[in-house]
Chain A
Amino acid sequence: MTQAEIKLCSLLLQEHFGEIVEKIGVHLIRTGSQPLRVIAHDTGTSLDQVKKALCVLIQHNLVIYQVHKRGVVEYEAQCSRVLRMLRYPRYIYTAKTLYSDTGELIVEELLLNGKMTMSAVVKKVADRLTETMEDGKTMDYAEVSNTFVRLADTHFVQRCPWVPATENSDPGPPPPAPILVISEKDMYLVPKLSLIGKGKRRRSSDEDAAGEPKAKRPKHSTDNKEPIPDDGIYWQANLDRFHQHFRDQAIVSAVANRMDQTSSEIVRTMLRMSEITTPSTAPFTQPLSSNEIFRSLPVGYNISKQVLDQYLTLLADDPLEFVGKSGDSGGGMYVINLHKALGSLATATLESVVQERFGSRCARIFRLVLQKKHLEQKQVEDFAMIPAKEAKDMLYKMLSGNFISLQEIPKTPDHAPSRTFYLYTVNILSAARMLLHRCYKASTRKVSEGGSHHCIYAGYRCRGGTAPRNRGDDHSP
């Protein structure tokens, strides 16, 4: 993890959980996997506080534990997951656009609390919705449950791994830490609950009480221990699914910008059809036949089959290669090349960054080097039709900004500089990573200043483009 990322994690943890949790979290991110007492010793905090902090971090899926040999439990922080905290507003807003206020509040509660049982979520969300409704109206639990089930069906929320209910056949000591498992098919299985009730409106008198009456409330909440029907079944927000949704949105809007509204609708339909069938890291979606696409088009679109076929052919022939043709059965089998699409998006982001930072002539040189892969100094001047001095200057500016790199090709084994070719090239992956790193740095500055949060969204735009590209190429989410 780079220093900028660690700093950003530290700020995020401090903002959300306080200084103690921040100290423990950052220590774990820096040093990797450690047992409990080593953490307490190295950070100089009391064992009790370390335990509390770890409980909070584990609850929010930021730290995982593993049992090593000799019964030692080690804790490991997940830096990338901490960085996702920047995107919480975006996840909540997405849920709002897809499932309206109910969905928005469900996702918000799950993100704020890390893990929750379904009954707890439904109750809380119903209470919150009831408060915003007019007097006399209440939100029914059934409606909230329905939205929850829909979220689970589309994989936006998933079950957390749980302790398997094993009959304790071995009379030995209980393990130092429970081993949590989850199977693929159970991940989105909603338990059969009959949640009957309505949301309760919180009375205004409770808000004012700051003295003794409030002291009694915590005890009161632990007193009504009705048996929870889905005890032990916790749900969490499935962040990968949200990322998949963002990726789909980016591809659809790219197609809309490049071609027209209808083609973007076709691409959106294709992506929707492969939402659940295609794993999120696949290089391309499952092949879809033209007939299937025709049947799944949204109701409002009255295009004939031939027009659809023409559009598909056009999309497949486009040099950007978002859509590819994989066969001819069923009227033509089409796939969406996810990795290629994300790569093109990342490249486009890089080009636009170069243009905004250095000017359009630099951007021309940049696009040229991208296209031709490797170019010598002289060739750059010739192809770009820019005078030598300016071309030199621009190349060096981009070189020092790490957008372009030099590739040495020696002619002789002694690598003598006078007999070596120096070629300019663009390494897209490393340039994208550099840009991502810059975004994190900018976010750090903005988060620490606490001033305008706008730049955090500037970071979103960048990260949205480059992060999937990194995922795609590294094959690691």
Chain B
Amino acid sequence: MAGNKGRGRAAYTFNIEAVGFGRGEKLPDVVLKPPPLFPDTDYKPVPLKAGEGEDYMLALKQELRETMKRMPYYMETPEEKQDIERYSKRYMKVYKEEWIPDWRRLPREMMPRKKCKKGPKSEKAKDTGKGASLANTADVLKKIEELEKRGDGEKSDEENEEKEGSKEKSKEGDEEEDDDAAEQEEYDEEEQEEENDYINSYFEDGDDFGADSDDNMDEATY
């Protein structure tokens, strides 16, 4: 490139006149930077169409935005747990209507499943016909956590054994899910366990982990 400075400088590979520049005319400078972000325009934009209809639609849009936030379909991001539970939080909660989808129209894997085998409620969860009696997922999760904390010691052994034994066939198991409806709960545990390599009981109940150790008995417990 630098070598061609001396020779062939004025020769173009195409007929320059075809593009509209005369021979020997000063060509515009090469632009070495991107065009400006907000270039000056000679022609200002036309004002927006404003009329009764447009005003109504504008008001509607703003109303819809507010309404959507209050509908049960709006999923709030779960807040991080704070160390101290503020007293006022209990009274500032906005209660939304619960929404239960029609399970008959959705794939079976959509239904929230109970994790623990214990508890009579888990049988109800399997019953696909009674969609209306299914508790909301949030309640389900709370119950799971409670039950887990209670039966934590016993369950961890079961889970370990199951996990090691069935990790290989977990993939096949998932595809054969529909074959055996009665084994839904087992597969569900495998699903949950598959997501990470850690044993569930260790990291789920972080609060209880250190407290259960009885090594330092010299300290009195109050």
Chain A: residues with CB nearer than 8 A to chain B? Answer: 15-21, 36-37, 40-41, 47-49, 51-56, 58-60, 65, 67, 70-73, 88-90, 92-93, 96, 112-114, 162-163, 173-178, 180, 210-211, 214-215, 217-218, 221-222, 225, 232, 234, 356-359, 377, 388, 392, 416-418, 420, 422, 453-458, 461
Contact = CB atoms under 8 A, between A and B. Distances in A.
B53 A93 contact: yes
Contacts of B95: 210, 214-215, 217-218
Interface string B141-182: 100000000000000000000000000000000111111110
Interface string B167-201: 00000001111111100000000011011000000
12 contacts: A17-B73, A40-B195, A53-B75, A58-B105, A58-B106, A174-B108, A177-B109, A178-B104, A357-B41, A418-B13, A418-B14, A418-B15
Given A73-B109, A418-B18, 4 more contacts: A59-B101, A112-B71, A210-B94, A453-B62
A112 B73 CA distance: 9
Looking at B48, B67, B128, the one whose CB has the most chain A CB atoms below 10 A away is: B48
B36 interface: no
Ranked nearest first, the 5 interchain pairs of A and B with the lowest CB-CB distance are A417-B14, A177-B107, A89-B57, A89-B60, A418-B15
Interface in B103-135: 104-112, 128, 132
A357 B43 CA distance: 6
Contact of B178 (A59, A71, A356): A71
B43 A359 contact: yes
B33 interface: no
B190 to A, nearest CB: 11
B48 A453 contact: no
Looking at A174, A221, A417, the one whose CB has the most chain B CB atoms below 10 A away is: A417
A73 B107 contact: yes
A59 B73 contact: yes
A454 B58 CA distance: 7
B108 A176 contact: yes
Contact of A93 (B46, B57, B141, B180): B57
A176 B109 contact: yes
Nearest to B20: A392
Which size bracket describes the interface of B in this complex?
Answer: 35 or more
B40 interface: no
A365 to B, nearest CB: 14
B38 interface: no
Contacts of A163: 104-105
Given A48-B112, A70-B175, A163-B105, A18 B18 contact: no
B39 to A, nearest CB: 11
A21 B75 contact: yes
Given A357-B43, A454-B48, A65 B14 contact: no
A369 B176 CA distance: 63
A101 to B, nearest CB: 12
Nearest to A209: B95
A397 B19 CA distance: 15
A17 B175 contact: no
A359 B181 contact: no
Contact of A52 (B41, B46, B67, B137): B137
B18 to A, nearest CB: 7
Contact of B13 (A54, A234, A417): A417
Given A177-B108, A215-B95, A92 B60 contact: yes
Looking at B13, B105, B106, B178, the one whose CB has the most chain A CB atoms below 10 A away is: B105
A456 B61 contact: yes
A95 B140 CA distance: 41
B156 to A, nearest CB: 20
A35 B134 CA distance: 24
